[in-house]
């Protein structure tokens, strides 16, 4: 007990020392960060508010949205660009994480960015982190990394991961380390399409997993005393327990906000869910106090269908990492945007030349009118 108390006292003294040192260093006017709690579906993060001593506080509209507690690359900027870096449009590319890319380096880079976005949001330049929080972030990175690797290995057919990377002009030095981008189809915000480019740091990440999900708020682990297989079969038969694509871990690096990274990652997931899995919806979870995330999804067609008051999230505000109870809003988007598309998706293949197919076509035309 004395040993534990001595460790806690040492951490407290070290934290006080770091704060005093930062106060002395901040004697001259500089940009400071005021954290404001934002939400994720199974984790917490913060919304950055940046202000200068000579300017009024203004809110930054973030695109980073966290959904679950799974898990930045640092990008340094000069002091003269503090006010303009947030509005900078960064070129990037979105790629799917293929099975052959299953290695520790890729996942470590992704988790570094995700955990910083979820739990340590703000400019990466001159970021000062207390020792106890660095330990917490390290634990969360390892936790998310093992979680991502496990899902990628066990469910390669029902899990898709997409990474957004910075696109940098190719030089002799970068070309030796990173292959040139041969296909610029998924490259955004690039002015000169004829130039040569290479992949840079990770700017964003998202994954979507096809798994059993109840829209009736029923816990899938509560068997009610029945056999688990029997319970799942009954719930699936009643429509309570259906495989649905669930979107998680949507996150964007602080400096890459306002570059369209989050929206493009979301669009890529929606497109692949329809084309690859032939499913017509996406489910996600957002904490009820994360207004930025709720607005982000609402603008893109997601609607709240019910709330879950039994969720938990990680809290890194204290010396000890804790899980706190929170309330999440379950959001859903139908990927069938119009009645005509619904009719077209239900129409049997090869039926366009038959009498039945001609009748189908007339129904579609009447719906469009």
* Domain ranges across the chain: 1-30, 33-361
224 burial (CB, 10 Å; 0-12 / 13-18 / 19+) is exposed
Per-residue pLDDT of 206-259, as tens digits, reads 999 999 998 864 444 343 333 445 555 555 555 556 899 999 999 999 999 889
3-state secondary structure 8-23: HHHHHHHHHHHHHHHH
pLDDT, one tens digit for every residue, the chain (369 residues): 667 777 777 777 766 665 555 443 333 333 333 333 333 333 333 333 333 333 333 333 333 333 333 333 333 333 333 443 445 899 999 999 987 667 889 999 999 999 999 998 888 666 788 888 999 999 999 999 999 999 988 888 999 999 999 999 888 777 777 888 877 888 999 888 888 898 899 999 999 999 999 886 444 434 333 344 555 555 555 555 689 999 999 999 999 988 999 999 999 999 999 999 999 999 999 999 889 899 999 999 999 999 999 999 999 988 899 999 999 999 999 998 655 454 555 555 444 455 556 665 666 555 544
pLDDT score of 262: 95
pTM of full prediction above 0.75: no
The CATH architecture that domain 33-361 belongs to is: 3-Layer(aba) Sandwich (3.40)
Report the distance separating Cα 206 and Cα 67, nearest Å: 9
pLDDT score of 218: 41
- The residues pairing with 36 across neighbouring beta strands, listed in sequence order, are 47
Contacts 24+ apart (CB under 8 A), 169-177: 169/195, 169/196, 169/197, 169/198, 170/195, 170/196, 170/197, 170/198, 174/198
pLDDT score of 259: 94
Report the distance separating Cα 105 and Cα 108, nearest Å: 5
What stretches of 117-240 adopt beta strand conformation (E)?
159-169, 187-188, 197-213
């Amino acid at each position: 007990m004395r040993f534990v108390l001595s460790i806690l006292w040492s951490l407290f003294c070290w934290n006080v020392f770091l704060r005093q040192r930062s106060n002395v260093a901040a004697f001259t006017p500089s940009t400071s960060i005021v954290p404001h709690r934002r939400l994720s579906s199974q984790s917490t993060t913060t919304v950055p508010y940046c202000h200068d001593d000579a300017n009024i506080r203004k809110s930054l509209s973030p695109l980073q949205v966290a959904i679950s507690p799974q898990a930045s690359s640092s990008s340094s900027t000069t002091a003269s660009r503090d006010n303009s870096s947030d509005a900078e449009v960064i070129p990037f590319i979105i790629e799917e994480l293929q099975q052959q890319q299953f290695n520790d380096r890729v996942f470590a880079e992704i988790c570094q960015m995700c955990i910083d976005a979820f739990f340590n949001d703000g400019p990466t330049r001159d970021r000062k982190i207390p020792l106890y929080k660095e330990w917490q972030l390290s634990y969360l990175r390892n936790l998310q990394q093992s979680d991502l690797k496990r899902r990628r290995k066990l469910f390669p057919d029902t899990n898709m991961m997409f990474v957004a990377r910075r696109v940098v002009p190719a030089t002799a030095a970068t070309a030796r380390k990173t292959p040139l981008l041969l296909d610029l189809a998924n490259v955004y915000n690039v002015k000169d399409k004829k130039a040569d480019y290479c992949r840079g740091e990770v700017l964003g990440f998202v994954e979507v997993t096809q798994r059993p999900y109840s829209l009736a708020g029923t816990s899938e682990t509560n068997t009610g005393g029945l056999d688990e297989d029997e319970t799942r079969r009954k719930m699936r038969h009643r429509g309570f327990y259906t495989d649905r694509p669930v979107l998680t871990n949507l996150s964007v690096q602080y400096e890459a906000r306002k570059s369209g990274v989050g929206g493009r990652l979301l669009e890529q997931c929606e497109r692949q869910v329809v084309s690859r899995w032939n499913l017509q919806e996406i489910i996600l979870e957002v904490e009820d106090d994360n207004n930025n995330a709720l607005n982000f999804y609402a603008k893109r067609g997601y609607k709240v269908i019910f709330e879950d008051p039994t969720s938990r999230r990680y809290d890194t505000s204290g010396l000890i990492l804790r899980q706190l109870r929170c309330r999440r809003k379950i959001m859903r988007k139908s990927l069938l945007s119009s009645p005509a598309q619904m009719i077209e998706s239900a129409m049997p293949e090869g039926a366009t030349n038959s009498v039945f197919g001609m009748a189908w076509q007339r129904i579609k035309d009447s719906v469009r009118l």
